[in-house]
Structure 1
Amino acid sequence: MKGNVTCSTTWNFQSAFFFSGTIITTIGYGNIVPSNETSRAFCIIYALVGIPLFAIMFSGLGEVISNFLSKLSSHVDKLDTKPWIKNFLIYFIFGLFGFTLFCCIPAAIFSIVEKWPYTVSLYFTVITLTTIGFGDYVIGENPDIDYIPLYRIMVYLWMLFGFAFMATFVQFTSERLRQRAKSRKDRRRQKKVHQIKTETTPEDSSNLTEQEGISFMVFLFWC
């Protein structure tokens, strides 16, 4: 808002739709908030019911992106190179693709529509998709700009797919690191077992057999 301006579009359908989306996605910019007891009570119920339902839908979108990432990782794993190079290729290709599709391109669009510097638009996309949502920059808030009716709805759809990508990428990264740590642990265990076997020489085996024979004779004498 600029000066003493009354914004008549604060609670139109597009703004209310965007507000409901920021609740179930747990962003919570804070630019629009409930103003009475009834709306606050409804907001609590809506959040408690809507967030779990959103998580179910969210997992479906993440599964589609996960299938694409699994195919990419299977092709990279076939390469005859070191494991850390394979991991770097997977993270670089998928990360660059996702960052370009969900951050760089939307930032260019926001820069044109909102008349923001590109760095501010890129900052907004990253803060939004990581669900931080500071609220210092929010789309559709400039009273000097005549936004199209579906603008905020399209932004909300971008947020859905962007969230799915970010969650899938984080989950894949953690799973990949977990498997790598497990493989390292298995290699250390195998190396330790091999070292124990090599340290047992034939002379040690004969001494062990002789000691067992003496113990057996002592046992017979005691009997």
Structure 2
Amino acid sequence: MLRRSTSRILILGAFYALYLVIGASVFCAIEGPDENKRKQELKDIRKTFLEGHTSCITDGELEAFIEKIVEAQNRGVSAIKNVTSESNWSFGQSLFFAGTILTTIGYGHVTPLSEGGKVFCVVYALIGIPLTLILFTAIVERLMLLTNAILSLLEKKLSHILTYLQVRLLHLAIIFTFLLVFIFITPAVIFTCIEKRWNFLDSFYYCFISMTTIGLGDYIPGDDVNQQNRALYKILTTVYLFIGLTIMMLTLATIYEIPELNIGSHFYLKSDAEHETEKQTLRKPTNNYNAAETEQSTFGGAKDNEALTE
């Protein structure tokens, strides 16, 4: 029988997945028509430009055309292939966008264009971001049970040759190696194979910028108009982002559990209380010593009085 907390996290996970799907569907429904309108406008501009400039083009006319192209590109509408590339607001693309909102990565390469889309984005993020933090924290708490079991095994096997701190550092090194291999290096290799314009450094750079939630948006998987199965590719990338951020949080939690590495604890308010506790601890031997002296002098005085009485 499942524990109550486990049942709750399964329900939370299911609700979170549903929340992602709902968000993707709403963004797709709201932003899709607006994007199609802008695509049609760009097609008309391109057609007019070609019909009106069969012989020669002035500098001003070329500049105006470029401005229209750049404006459309900045809003996520590409003019390549006669504006026939897949929509940025297909379900797969919308799910990817919703995932970047909830994880606060926010690449910024595609943004809501309509007023309704902007309003929904604000409300969606207000509810979804705290929900994401709750879900990640609950998952990391359970993963810590596994990592603590590994730590206990290491202590049992290596306690006779390593100090407690050395065992904890070895434990952290194992988790960090897992993070580096499976969240950074392996995905970078996969992205290098899929993204024809990316080298390994570009792919590794994308993984780092995403996992640290910096989200610069200069490298986005699946943005090539020639990319096949673009929607599925975006969905799988979204899954990677959620798994990667969970492992990142697990690594940070492991670091925080090592007092020698948790430098931030020295700047928290509780550090003042700990300092006062240390001061009291240092005072205790002195007080005991004084108490012992008092006790000794008291008994000594009593003995002297007894001797005088005798």
Please indicate, yes or no, whether the TM-score normalized by the shorter chain is above 0.5.
yes
* Change over 3 Å in CA distance of 1:193–1:167 after alignment to 2: same
1:209 pairs with 2:297:
yes
1:39 aligns with 2:117: yes
Say which SS state the counterpart of residue 108 (structure 2) adopts.
Answer: coil
Structure with greater contact order relative to length (CA < 8 Å, sep ≥ 6) = 1
The counterpart of 1:120, out of the listed 185, 195, 202, is: 202
Partner of 1:100: 181
Residue in structure 1 matched with residue 34 of structure 2 by the alignment? none
> Measured at CA, do residues 8 and 97 of structure 1 come closer, stay the same or move farther in structure 2, by a change above 3 Å?
closer
- d(CA) in 1 for partners of 2:152 and 2:136? 24
Question: Higher mean Cα deviation, 130-139 or 170-179?
Answer: 170-179
Which 5+ residue runs of structure 2 have no aligned equivalent? 1-72, 266-270, 306-310
After TM superposition, give the deviation of residue 150 of structure 1 in Å. 1.2
Of 120-129 and 172-181, deviating more is 172-181
Q: Does residue 71 of structure 1 match 2:153? A: no
Question: Alpha-carbon deviation of 1:146?
Answer: 2.2
User: Structure 1's 207 and 48: CA in aligned 2 closer, same or farther, altered over 3 A?
Assistant: closer
Picking from 94, 98, 108, the partner of 1:30 is 108
Q: Secondary structure at the match of 1:150?
A: helix
Equivalent pairs counted in the alignment come to 209
Alignment match of 2:225 (pick from 123, 143, 151): 143
Gaps of 5+ in 1: 218-223
State the SS of the aligned residue for 2:213.
Answer: coil
Pairwise CA distance, 1:53: 2.1
8 Å CA contact retained: 2:209, 2:216: yes
Contact 2:86-2:225 at 8 Å conserved across structures: no
Counterpart of 2:250?
168
- How far apart, CA to CA, are the structure 1 residues paired with 2:279 and 2:172? 28
The ranges of structure 1 where at least 4 consecutive aligned residues each deviate by more than 4 angstroms after the TM superposition are 178-182, 188-197, 204-208
SS of residue in 2 equivalent to 1:142? coil
Conserved 8 A contact 2:255-2:261: no
* CA shift in 2, pair 1:51/1:209, >3 Å: same
Provide the rounded CA distance (Å) in 1 between the counterparts of 2:135 and 2:142.
12
Q: Indicate if the aligned counterparts of 1:65 and 1:164 stay in contact, CA closer than 8 A.
A: no
Structure 1 Cα separation of the partners of residues 170 and 181 of structure 2: 16
The structural deviation recorded for 1:170 is 0.7
For residues 86 and 33 of structure 1, the distance between their equivalents in structure 2, rounded to whole angstroms, comes to 47
CA contact (8 A) 1:107 1:118 kept: yes
CA contact (8 A) 2:99 2:238 kept: yes
Identity %: 29
Q: TM-score, normalised by structure 1?
A: 0.78
The alpha-carbon deviation at position 72 of structure 1 amounts to 1.3
**Which moved further from structure 2: 139-148 or 21-30?**
139-148
* TM-score normalized by the length of structure 2: 0.58
